[in-house]
Amino acid sequence: MGEKKVKFVPVFDLVNEAKKKLDKFKYKILVMSGKGGVGKSFISSMLALGLAMRGKNVSIFDADIHGSSIPLFLGIQGSRHYANEAGEILPVEGPLNVKVVAINLMLDSPDTPVVWRGPLVGRAILELAAKVAWYEADYLIVDMPPGTGDVAITVSQVFPSITGAILVTSPNTLTETIVAKAANFMASTGIRLLGVIENMSYFKCPHCGMVTNIMGEMSSDYFFAKYGVNLLGKIPIDPSINEALNKGKPYLLFNRESEAARAILEIVDKVINLVENTNNK
Ligand code: ADP
């Protein structure tokens, strides 16, 4: 048997390939958070669905390699990526035609942990960006890992003309430091911060309608005045989000009339307005 030849692709080529392919999207939006568990992946997937509900052509890239959960929120956990004849990875078709690229859809089982150090994760993002057969579309939503580590640096350097970033927080984590860090990261990379989404903002009792700020309250006016950061909206705590997740149903499609769903759709409309009416590719 002949010796198997391994073809090494110079990083430079990969970067150029990734840039060329990602230029197919009119708008590229990064969804970020200062820390894990604030609902960033839930919101990324619902923003993608919400944009699709508004008639947009959408792809979503799950760049949260260690915490990949977009397939779960979109109810396509059982799907797998295939390759075309040219060896490119084909995105998986999710609900409302949303195209999904996620490492979880390449593993033998979603329970398999991805045990990679930071630089390898950055390289995997680059490889995926370059090797996926991305389709021409209006929006690419990128679900970033929490914080500003290797992936954030790779994405900010490799992805061409990023439209902007959205920061997801919950009231208790919306400390000055987290907003300041995000604002500073954006400033250092030249990426526009479209605004902040306050998730798990409050709980409204389904019986008496009383509103409780379980996680505390924040003053959006203060953050706007100090850092110029817009509040895109507040999403309440809704137990049916996890119910939908457990049943493998995309929340926004099955609870369209809930307060959280309405808040998400209002945010979607604001985002469309912000990015499409400012001539910012
Ligand atoms: P992150 O990506 O920030 O780590 P996830 O999106 O994975 O967070 O969400 C963490 C958990 O919180 C999930 O179980 C998700 O279903 C739940 N969750 C997110 N937002 C809400 C909300 N507004 N109300 C109730 N549960 C929520």
User: Across 48-57, 80-89, 128-137, which has the greatest mean pLDDT?
Assistant: 48-57
Alpha-carbon span 10 to 3, nearest angstrom: 22
Is the dihedral angle over the CA atoms 132, 107, 46, 32 positive or is it negative? Answer: negative
Strand partners, 200: none
Least confident of 102-106, 115-119, 128-132: 115-119
CATH topology for 12-276 is Rossmann fold (3.40.50)
Tally of CB atoms within 10 A around 19: 15
Alpha-carbon span 275 to 281, nearest angstrom: 8
List the structure tokens of 220: 């959006």
Report the run of H or E that residue 27 belongs to, with start and end.
strand 25-33
- Give residue for tokens 């990875």: 89
238 lines ligand 1 (CB under 6 A): yes
Q: Tell me the CB-side half-sphere exposure of residue 136, using CA atoms within 13 A.
A: 0
The answer to whether residue 223 scores a pLDDT higher than 60 is: yes
| Amino acid sitting at position 134 | W
38 lines ligand 1 (CB under 6 A): yes
C-beta of residue 238 within 8 angstroms of C-beta of residue 260: yes
Alpha-carbon span 115 to 119, nearest angstrom: 12
User: What's the pLDDT tens digit per position in 58-77?
Assistant: 999 999 887 889 999 999 99
Alpha-carbon span 255 to 27, nearest angstrom: 27
Q: How far does the chain reach from its first CA to its final CA, in angstroms?
A: 51
pTM of the model: 0.91
Supply the pLDDT for residue 281: 47
The mean of the pLDDT values for the chain is 87
User: What's the pLDDT tens digit per position in 134-146?
Assistant: 999 999 999 998 8
36 lines ligand 1 (CB under 6 A): yes
Question: Residue whose CA is closest, atom 16 of ligand 1?
Answer: 242
Supply the pLDDT for residue 100: 97
**What is the best residue among 241, 247, 251, 258 to mutate for testing ligand 1's pocket, by most ligand atoms within 8 Å of CB?**
241
Q: Tell me the CB-side half-sphere exposure of residue 88, using CA atoms within 13 A.
A: 14
| In the chain, where the domains are located | 12-276
What is the atom index within ligand 1 of the atom nearest the CA of 260? Answer: 23
pLDDT above 70 covers a percentage of the chain that reads: 89
Mean pLDDT across 139-158: 88
Question: Residue whose CA is closest, atom 12 of ligand 1?
Answer: 39
Estimate to the nearest angstrom the gap between the alpha carbon of 16 and the chain centroid: 23
Supply the pLDDT for residue 171: 82
Q: 213 C-alpha to center of ligand 1: Å? A: 17
Alpha-carbon span 160 to 25, nearest angstrom: 10
The answer to whether residue 120 scores a pLDDT higher than 90 is: no
Of 18, 243, 259, 47, the closest CA to residue 142 belongs to 47
The answer to whether residue 181 scores a pLDDT higher than 90 is: no
